[in-house]
Amino acid sequence: MKVPFLDLKASYQELKEKLDAAYHRVMESGRYILGEEVEAFERELAAYCEAKHCIGVGNGLDALHLITCGYDIGLGDEVIVPSNTYIATWLAVSYAGATPVPVEPDVRTFNINPDLIEAAITPKTRAIMPVHLYGHAADMDPINVIAKRHGLKVIEDAAQAHGACYKGRRTGSLGDSAGFSFYPGKNLGAFGDGGAVVTNDGELADKVRALRNYGSRVKYENEAKGFNSRLDEMQAAFLRVKLKFLDEWNDRRRAFAIQYSDQLSDLDLGLPFVPDWAEPVWHLYVIRSRHRDALKAHLEQCGISTVIHYPIPPHRQPCYTEYGERRLRVTEILASEVLSLPISPAMEDADVESVVDAIRMFAGTTNKQF
């Protein structure tokens, strides 16, 4: 039985009638940039995140970049980031001219370790950018306490955490601002690129609205050297449809995650850890194995597609040679051991059973401890 890692077509097939209606609504409107669909989606996502403002932008990287620019973070400044993350988190800081300062993850949650943040703060530090990695909220209370003590902004990278909760509150309203991605593979994914800034900070919202549109609030009047980063009408219309189903789809992911954890718990695998205060949305279900590459190859032979998130940490990427031979031990170990199993709302119980059976087959035939 073949199990794809992700079936992007499935959401269209499930919502075909509604998505087709959204397409025709936009096409017949004659308005394709910054129109009613974007405005409506911004209101709806802000309400969903329990925040006051939402600004649709071109993608998740732009969302984080525009936030840093909106806070006037730039050359000579530093922003604390997780060392264990997708490179977009770092790039957003670099694009603004600032320096990413990496902090190692908590080995249990894979998210930034709050206990290590304060030691990384210098007089140049302007913000902390925690990532809600794999759909699991970072431990925000201690991060906010540290930020308040040092007068720093907290910028959530919520690209993988649409609907995730921390102590009963949704991501997107846990810091000063948040950046979301609507890349097609996300829990709330568009049919192309897209992103959004969510915040309770009215001043930041006003700045980002101008910056995304060439630095302009009034046509042909440019108050800042801005960018062209606008969520388009078509993607906004599609996202409005899918937002109504986000909680239902997240619940499906949770059910499959529970099945994985229950059925793999007796193996010597590193399974995801969920703190009592967290309600993850399982953008990814990530395990650890000392024989990761062999396990991945075995699963591929069984028709099961897996992905490594992420094989090369940002500080080891060719574009960040300035970090030299700096060792980030926990991050590097995780990069060598993590493996993402298939998980999506389109899956069925039989898919999970196939993955579990294949992993058990690997354990039985190799006689290896994971």
The DSSP bridge partners found for residue 169 are 166
> Phi and psi of 88, rounded to 5°?
-55, -35
pLDDT band (50, 70, 90) for residue 364? confident
- What are the distances in angstroms from CA 5 to CA 185, 285, 338? 10, 11, 15
The reported pLDDT for the residue numbered 325 is: 87
Q: What is the DSSP string of 72-85?
A: T--TT-EEEEESSS
* 124-137 per-position pLDDT tens digit: 999 999 999 999 99
* 295-334 per-position pLDDT tens digit: 999 999 999 999 999 999 999 999 999 999 899 999 999 9
Q: What mean pLDDT do residues 25-49 have? A: 98
CA pair distance 127, 265, nearest whole angstrom: 38
Q: What mean pLDDT do residues 262-290 have? A: 97
Percent of the chain scored above 90 by pLDDT? 97
In sequence order, what are the residues at sequence separation of 6 or more whose Cβ sits closer than 8 angstroms to the Cβ of residue 176?
153, 154, 155, 199, 200, 201, 204
- Global pTM reads 0.97
* 201-249 per-position pLDDT tens digit: 999 999 999 999 999 999 999 999 999 999 999 999 999 999 999 999 9
Q: What mean pLDDT do residues 345-356 have? A: 98
**Position 370 pLDDT exceeds 70:** no
The reported pLDDT for the residue numbered 365 is: 62
**Position 174 pLDDT exceeds 90:** yes
In sequence order, what are the residues at sequence separation of 6 or more whose Cβ sits closer than 8 angstroms to the Cβ of residue 318?
none
Q: What mean pLDDT do residues 32-61 have? A: 98
Percent of the chain scored above 70 by pLDDT? 98
Q: What is the DSSP string of 207-231?
A: HHHHHTBTTEEETTEESS---B---
Half-sphere exposure of 266 (CA within 13 A, CB side): 5
**Position 366 pLDDT exceeds 80:** no
Interhelix angle for 60-70 vs 202-211, to 10°?
Answer: 120
Fill in the DSSP letter of residue 18. Answer: H
Two tokens at 24?
């025709």
Q: Which helix (H) or strand (E) holds 99?
A: strand 99-103
| Strand ranges across the sheet with 169-170 | 169-170, 165-166, 278-279
Q: CB count, 10 Å around CB of 357?
A: 14
Two tokens at 350?
């039989």
The reported pLDDT for the residue numbered 312 is: 98
- Tell me the one-letter amino acid at 58: G
pLDDT band (50, 70, 90) for residue 32? very high
In sequence order, what are the residues at sequence separation of 6 or more whose Cβ sits closer than 8 angstroms to the Cβ of residue 137?
111, 161, 164, 165, 166, 171, 174, 278, 279, 280
Query: Taking the alpha carbons of 136, 126, 97, 192 in that order, is the dihedral positive or negative?
Result: positive
CA pair distance 5, 359, nearest whole angstrom: 15
Q: Which helix (H) or strand (E) holds 315?
A: none
Q: What is the 3-state secondary structure (H, E, C) of 115-174?
A: HHCHHHCCCCEEEECCECHHHCCCCHHHHHHHHHHHCCEEEEECCCCCCCEECCEECCCC
Two tokens at 158?
């919520």
Two tokens at 304?
């099961």
Please answer whether residues 71 and 91 qualify as being in contact, where contact means their C-beta atoms are separated by less than 8 angstroms: no
